[in-house]
Amino acid sequence: MKRSMGVAAWMALVAVIGAVPLLTDDRYLLKVLVFVGINVIIVSGLALLFGYAGQISLGHAAFVGIGAYASAYVTSGLGLPWLVGVLAGTTLAAIGGLLLAMPSLRLRGHYLAMATLGFNEIMYVIFREARAVTGGNDGLSGIPFPEVLGVRMDTPASIYLLVWGTALVVVFLVANIVRGRPGRAMRGLHGSEIGALACGVDVARLKIRTFAVSAGLAGLAGTLYAHAVGFVAPSTFSLEQSVVLLAIVVVGGTGSLAGPVIASIALTLLPYADALIPGLGKDVIAFLQDWEADIYGIAMIVVVVLAPKGIGGLIRAARSRSRAEETG
């Protein structure tokens, strides 16, 4: 079954993303879109792990935090170049993913959820208490802007392009993983672990690799976040954020990449709807932001009840409908 996006569709996506900073210089909108792009990266990795391989993680916000703090420390603490910070943050998060994969070799379902939840809580305590590195509850500020080859990306437009360029590459790579043999093995593992073992899938290695890649992507997103915002504090990486990330994947649909990417764009934009719709009243925004978690919760219930396969399932259904119409 071919569900790949054509070259034309990818080109169109590149064009749309590239056009945004030409069409607007609204700093607020660009900033919001940076958050959206960062979430697209995290959610792509989580869709791989949870949506495809069926391994739950309630610890992904912690991986984002590992990436963010590591990169912040390496650059502003140690004075090393930005790219070193990005590599350090991504690698450290991937190693964290390797460690978190260990319980997944023995635990599944609720037990794995509990183990990863515990991981997030432990990391949260570390972020708050390891003051020498993390700055404790006050966080770390003065994190330098991204800089490659002497070019400093200190404008909203340049950071937007950096984040979305990265997001595009990440989505493209993840799309290739899920379409190929590893993706098939992941979905097999999701369907039946014993079945996958009987087919000769090295399940342990698959889980470890998927956890590492997924956590590494979260870490990469974390490094982008740290340098885009210039400031990191523990609350950004709390368990609550992990729950929100998982909710986005569920709303997007398991076994789908496009669904979760769309869901992450829509749900991240929601509390900042005023960035897109300038006339929107302050009270509406205040309402959306106050009720953000509840809106996510309701979105999840609606999906579970009305469209259990999420946005991805709706896309598949629409596609097979249009294919049926084409063939008569």
Partner 1 sequence: MTSDSILAVERLSAGYGRVAVLRDVSVDLAAGEMVALIGANGAGKTTLLRSLAGLLKPSGGRVWLEGADVTGMAPERLVRQGMALVPEGRMLFGPMTVTENLLLGAHSRPRRDESVRTDMDRVSALFPVLVERSSQPAATLSGGEQQMLAVGRALMSSPRVLLLDEPSLGLAPKVIADIFRVLKSLRSEGLSILLVEQDARLALRHADRGYVMRTGEIALAGTGAQLLENDDVRHIYLGARHDSRG
The residues of the shown chain that bind partner 1, judged by CB under 8 A, are 1, 181, 184-185, 187-188, 190-192, 194-202, 255
DSSP one-letter string for 209-246? HHHHHHHHHHHHHHHHHHHHHSEE-GGGGSHHHHHHHH
Burial profile 156-190: b = 16 or more Cβ within 10 angstroms, e = fewer: bebbbbbbbebbbebbeebbebbbeebbebbbbbb
Q: How far is the CB of 199 from partner 1 (least distance, A)?
A: 5
Q: How far is the CB of 301 from partner 1 (least distance, A)?
A: 22
Comparing CB distances to partner 1, the nearer of 56 and 196 is 196
Comparing CB distances to partner 1, the nearer of 21 and 54 is 54
Q: How far is the CB of 316 from partner 1 (least distance, A)?
A: 11
| 58 in Cβ contact with 246 (< 8 Å) | yes
Comparing CB distances to partner 1, the nearer of 147 and 193 is 193
Q: How far is the CB of 189 from partner 1 (least distance, A)?
A: 9
Comparing CB distances to partner 1, the nearer of 191 and 281 is 191
| 137 in Cβ contact with 77 (< 8 Å) | no
For CA atoms 103, 104, 105, 111, give the dihedral sign.
Answer: positive
Q: How far is the CB of 187 from partner 1 (least distance, A)?
A: 6
DSSP structural state of residue 37: H
| 119 in Cβ contact with 104 (< 8 Å) | no
Rounded CA separation 220/82 (Å): 12
Q: How far is the CB of 313 from partner 1 (least distance, A)?
A: 10
The upper half-sphere exposure of residue 167, i.e. CA atoms within 13 Å in the direction of its Cβ, equals 31
Comparing CB distances to partner 1, the nearer of 128 and 184 is 184
Q: Which of 168, 166, 172 is nearest to 146 (CA)?
A: 166
Comparing CB distances to partner 1, the nearer of 89 and 182 is 182
Rounded CA separation 186/206 (Å): 7
